[in-house]
Structures are given as C-alpha cells and as structure tokens.
C-alpha cells in the first residue's frame, strides 16, 4: 500500500495545492516500492 501526505500550510495554502502535493508524495512513495516505510 502506498500513501501520499500533505500538511497545511507546509505543503500548500489551498485545497488544490494540498491535493497536488499529496499526489506528488504518492508517486514518490510508489517509486520507492516496498522498501519505503
């Protein structure tokens, strides 16, 4: 299972910014595969 996390206001100040940050985090986690925790 992979998950992306975004925290207000560190990763964005609008809902759109937070969703985009979480999406980037998700793809980073997926790219790291099973070795990430």
pLDDT per position as a tens digit, 2-37? 888 999 999 999 999 999 999 999 999 888 876 655
What is the pLDDT, as a whole number, of residue 37?
A: 54
Domain span at residue 27?
1-37
- Long-range CB pairs of 26-33 (<8 Å, 24+ gap) are 26/2, 28/4, 29/2, 29/3, 29/4, 30/2
**CA atoms of 19 and 27, how far apart (whole Å):** 12
Number of domains the chain contains: 1
What's the pTM value of the predicted model, to 2 decimals? 0.73
């Amino acid at each position: 299972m992979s998950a992306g996390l975004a925290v207000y206001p560190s990763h964005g100040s609008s809902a759109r910014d937070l969703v985009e940050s979480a999406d980037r985090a998700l793809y980073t986690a997926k790219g790291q595969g099973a070795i990430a925790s």
